[in-house]
C-alpha cells in the first residue's frame, strides 16, 4: 500500500506533467508537511515555482534544498538559472562554479556560465567556457555554433587585421563543425555563406 507522502508526491508529478501547477504545489507542500527533509519534494516545488515565473519562491525553495543536501550540483545549477532570471548574475556565477566543483563534467554549467558572460558582453570569457563545454562534450553542436557567433562579434570590434583573420578561421571551423554535427541553423548559415561566395 502506498503511503500518504508518496501518494501526494506522485500526484504532484502527474500534475506537473499535465501543467496543473497549482495542484502540484498543493501536493508538494503536503509532502513537505509530512516530511520536511524530502529533498525531491523541495526540488520539484522549486522547479514548479520557476516554471510559473515565481522566481523569489523558487529561490527560497532551492535554498531549503541546499540546506538539506548541499552536495547536489543540479540544485546549484537550477538556483543559478533562477538568479539569472532575477538578473543576479554574480550569484548565478557563484552557484555554477559550485556546481562544477561538485561535478567537473557538468557541461550545462559551463554553457550557462558562457551565457552569463555573453549577457555581460565578456565575449572572450564566454568563448573560454564554451571550449570547456566541448572538453566535456565534443559533439555539442550548439557550443560550436555559439563560438562561431562570438568570434564574429569579436571580428567586428577588432582593429588588428591578423587577429581578425585568426578569429575568422576559428569562426568558420566552428560553423563547419556545428553543421557537420547536424545543427540545422549551422547548416543553413553555411549554405548562405557559400551562396554569398558564389
DSSP string, 59-84: HHHHHHHHHH-TT-HHHHHHHHHHHH
Helices first, then strands: H and E counts in the chain: 11, 0
**Domain range for 150:** 139-198
User: Are the C-beta atoms of residues 134 and 143 closer than 8 Å to each other?
Assistant: yes
Reported pTM: 0.89
* Residue 99 lies inside a defined structural domain of this protein: no
- Non-local CB neighbours of 36 within 8 Å, separated by 6+ positions: none
Query: Is 1 within the bounds of a domain?
Result: no
* pLDDT band at residue 5 using 50, 70 and 90 as cut-offs: very high
Longest pairwise C-alpha distance within the chain: 73
Question: Does 52 reside within a domain?
Answer: no
Q: Give residue 1's pLDDT.
A: 52
Residue 36 within any structural domain of the chain:
no
Q: Is residue 182 part of a domain?
A: yes
Question: Which position has the grid cell 550545462?
Answer: 108
Does the pLDDT at position 162 exceed 70? yes
pLDDT in tens, 165-187: 999 999 999 999 999 999 999 99
Q: Classify residue 125: in a domain, yes or no.
A: no
Note whether residue 163 is domain-resident.
yes
Q: Is residue 117 part of a domain?
A: no
Environment class of 182 (CB within 10 Å of its CB; exposed 0-12, middle 13-18, buried 19+):
exposed
Total domain count, the chain: 1
Q: Measured between alpha carbons, how far is 66 from 73 in angstroms, rounded to an integer?
A: 10
Dump pLDDT digits (tens) for 50-62. 999 999 999 999 9
Amino acid at each position: 500500500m502506498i503511503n500518504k507522502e508518496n501518494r501526494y508526491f506522485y500526484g504532484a508529478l502527474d500534475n506537473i506533467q499535465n501543467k496543473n501547477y497549482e495542484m502540484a504545489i498543493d501536493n508538494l507542500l503536503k509532502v513537505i508537511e509530512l516530511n520536511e527533509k524530502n529533498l525531491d519534494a523541495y526540488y520539484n516545488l522549486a522547479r514548479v515555482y520557476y516554471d510559473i515565473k515565481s522566481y523569489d519562491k523558487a529561490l527560497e525553495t532551492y535554498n531549503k534544498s541546499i540546506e538539506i543536501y548541499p552536495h547536489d550540483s543540479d540544485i546549484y545549477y537550477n538556483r543559478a538559472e533562477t538568479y539569472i532570471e532575477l538578473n543576479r548574475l554574480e550569484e548565478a556565477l557563484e552557484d555554477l562554479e559550485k556546481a562544477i566543483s561538485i561535478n567537473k563534467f557538468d557541461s550545462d554549467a559551463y554553457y550557462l556560465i558562457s551565457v552569463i558572460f555573453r549577457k555581460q558582453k565578456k565575449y572572450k570569457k564566454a568563448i573560454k567556457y564554451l571550449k570547456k563545454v566541448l572538453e566535456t562534450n565534443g559533439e555539442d553542436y550548439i557550443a560550436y555554433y555559439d563560438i562561431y557567433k562570438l568570434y564574429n562579434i569579436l571580428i567586428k570590434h577588432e582593429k588588428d587585421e591578423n587577429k581578425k583573420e585568426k578569429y575568422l578561421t576559428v569562426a568558420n571551423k566552428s560553423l563547419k563543425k556545428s553543421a557537420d554535427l547536424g545543427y540545422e541553423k549551422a547548416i543553413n548559415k553555411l549554405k548562405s555563406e557559400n551562396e554569398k561566395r558564389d
